[in-house]
Amino acid sequence: MAEIEVKPTASSKAANFLEKNKKGLVTVLVAAVVILVAYIIFVSVSSSFNAKNLQKIDEISYALTNGSAGLSDDELAGRRTKALEDLASFVKNSGVSGVRANLLAADIAYQAGNKEDAVAYWKAAAKAGKKAYTAPIAYFNIASAYEDLDKLDDAAANYKLAADNKDFVMRSHAAFNYGRVLEAQGKYAEAVEAYTKLNDELPDDTFAKLAKTRIIQLKLEGKAE
């Protein structure tokens, strides 16, 4: 769950740069070569840094879960506490290691029943990887936790964030939940609007069909026109 979108290679970025800046290329060729070399070194060091961080995070995850099936509640709690302490230096990172660390920390907090802490970690994961496929997953989880906490305005807002991402594999589920939470708040007109949008965009989807039934039911009950 911690993977994020593949970034363009250094060579492809360099090619794009050269293609877009043909004018005046001769006069800045030496500087461009120096910049390119520096960029390649930076990418190499950055990749190595991320790889080391990810390895350490995976080691924390392994220490948390290895042989955990037979542990007592107190022993599991001790492992969770230790894991969160070890993750403290990674959850502040941006990029892939920050995403991975915060997703793991959120899972630990949620499993321990600390839903507010889990929300904070999921928010950090979404921020660390705004364009990653993990961002809508984080929004969906945030919404679910907020719903458990009876914070329906926040739940609806985050389900909508997840639903608005067209690449999210659970987009229809998020869109239906958005409408469902609006309905639970008595915002029937807005719920119908959300259900209708889902049904229009993904008419063959299971959740879209459920949305259609909710529209019919709300109209039968006189809660919507």
What is the three-state SS of the chain?
Answer: CCCCCCCCCHHHHHHHHHHHCCCCCHHHHHHHHHHHHHHHHHHHHHHHHHHHHHHHHHHHHHHHHCCHHHCCHHHHHHHHHHHHHHHCCCCCCCHHHHHHHHHHHHHHHHHCCCHHHHHHHHHHHHHHCCCCCHHHHHHHHHHHHHHHCCCHHHHHHHHHHHHCCCCCCCHHHHHHHHHHHHHHCCCHHHHHHHHHHHHHHCCCCHHHHHHHHHHHHHHHCCCCC
| Tens-place pLDDT, residues 29-44 | 344 434 343 433 334 4
Q: What is the pLDDT of residue 199?
A: 95
Does pLDDT of 14 surpass 60?
A: no
Instruction: Break the chain into its structural domains and give their ranges.
Output: 7-17+28-131, 133-225
Does pLDDT of 21 surpass 90?
A: no
In percent, the amount of the chain with pLDDT more than 90 equals 72
| Tens-place pLDDT, residues 43-79 | 444 577 778 999 999 999 999 999 999 999 999 999 9
Average pLDDT, the chain: 84
What topology is assigned to 133-225 in CATH? 1.25.40
Does pLDDT of 144 surpass 50?
A: yes
